[in-house]
């Protein structure tokens, strides 16, 4: 797997683009504003063809440029059904610019798999930050794209519409069971590993509650 990332926008969102080395097929994850120009330039420079755009959840700072990227590349948009309405009818709380709506054509669901070239990304439904939050797991490469469910030393806020402390605690408990060396690539902030987060994640798993 080839992988590039860039931090963009007022919320410092991590935008990821992955590609299969042989087929040159690529997937973009969380195409925040402004990522269109960077993605288009990288695709052209690397001779990659974008096959899919994934929104890990329905907050504006993760899909602001998704409609533009889809229009430019022809790649379909994927999201969980429970966050579909949030993408189609954005609620841009505190956004400093308009957020164009976008229409997912591919439905992500628990146990599903995204395939392109030799790359396989398992879909984990991890609600709590939003009802339709998902993480993408590349078991072969030991990578977890965790959206805003799991951060280095933290988790996504639950005080926005659709958030739930109880649900995100269960989602975090589930992530604690992944292989410890798994590299976690969150929606914001630095990368980490399951092993590094395990001390507090194990507490969440034991209590089914967030740390105080």
Residue-wise DSSP of 1-31 = -EEEEEEETTTTEEEEEEE-TTT-EEEEE--
What's the chain's average pLDDT? 97
Helix then strand then coil, % of the chain, to nearest 5: 25, 30, 45
**Confidence at residue 92, expressed as pLDDT on a 0 to 100 scale:** 79
11 contacts: CB under 8 Å, gap ≥ 6? 32, 61, 188
pLDDT given at position 94: 85
Instruction: Write down all domains in the chain, each with its CATH number in brackets.
Output: 2-207 (3.60.15.10)
Is residue 212 pLDDT above 90, yes or no? no
Q: Give residue-wise pLDDT tens across range 143-199.
A: 999 999 999 999 999 999 999 999 999 999 999 999 999 999 999 999 999 999 999
pLDDT at 91: 86
Cα-Cα-Cα-Cα dihedral of 25, 28, 29, 33, to 10°? 180
Cβ–Cβ under 8 Å, residues 35 and 17: no
Over the stretch 10-27, which tens digit does the pLDDT of each residue have?
Answer: 999 999 999 999 999 999
Give dist(CA 111, CA 27) in Å, integer.
19
Q: What is the pLDDT of residues 86-115, one digit of tens each?
A: 999 998 788 999 999 999 999 999 999 999
- Give tens-digit pLDDT for 55-91: 999 999 999 999 999 999 999 999 999 999 999 999 8
């Amino acid at each position: 797997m080839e992988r590039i990332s860039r931090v963009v926008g007022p919320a410092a969102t991590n935008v990821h683009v992955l590609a299969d080395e042989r087929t040159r097929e690529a997937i973009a994850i969380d195409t925040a504003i402004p990522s269109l120009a960077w993605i288009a330039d990288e695709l052209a420079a690397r001779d990659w063809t974008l096959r899919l755009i994934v929104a890990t959840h329905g907050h504006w700072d993760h899909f602001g440029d998704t409609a533009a990227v889809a229009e430019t590349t022809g790649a379909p948009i994927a999201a969980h059904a429970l966050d579909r309405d949030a993408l189609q009818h954005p609620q841009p709380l505190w956004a400093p610019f308009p957020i164009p709506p976008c229409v997912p054509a591919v439905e992500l669901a628990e146990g599903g798999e995204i395939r392109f070239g030799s790359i396989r990304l398992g879909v984990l439904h991890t609600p709590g930050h939003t009802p339709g939050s998902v993480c993408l797991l590349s078991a072969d490469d030991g990578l977890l794209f965790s959206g805003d469910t799991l951060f280095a030393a933290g988790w996504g806020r639950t005080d926005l519409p659709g958030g739930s402390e109880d649900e995100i605690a269960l989602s975090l408990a589930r992530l604690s069971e992944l292989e410890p060396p798994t590299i976690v690539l969150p929606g914001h902030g630095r990368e980490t590993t399951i092993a590094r987060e395990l001390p507090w994640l194990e507490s969440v798993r034991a209590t089914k509650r967030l740390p105080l």
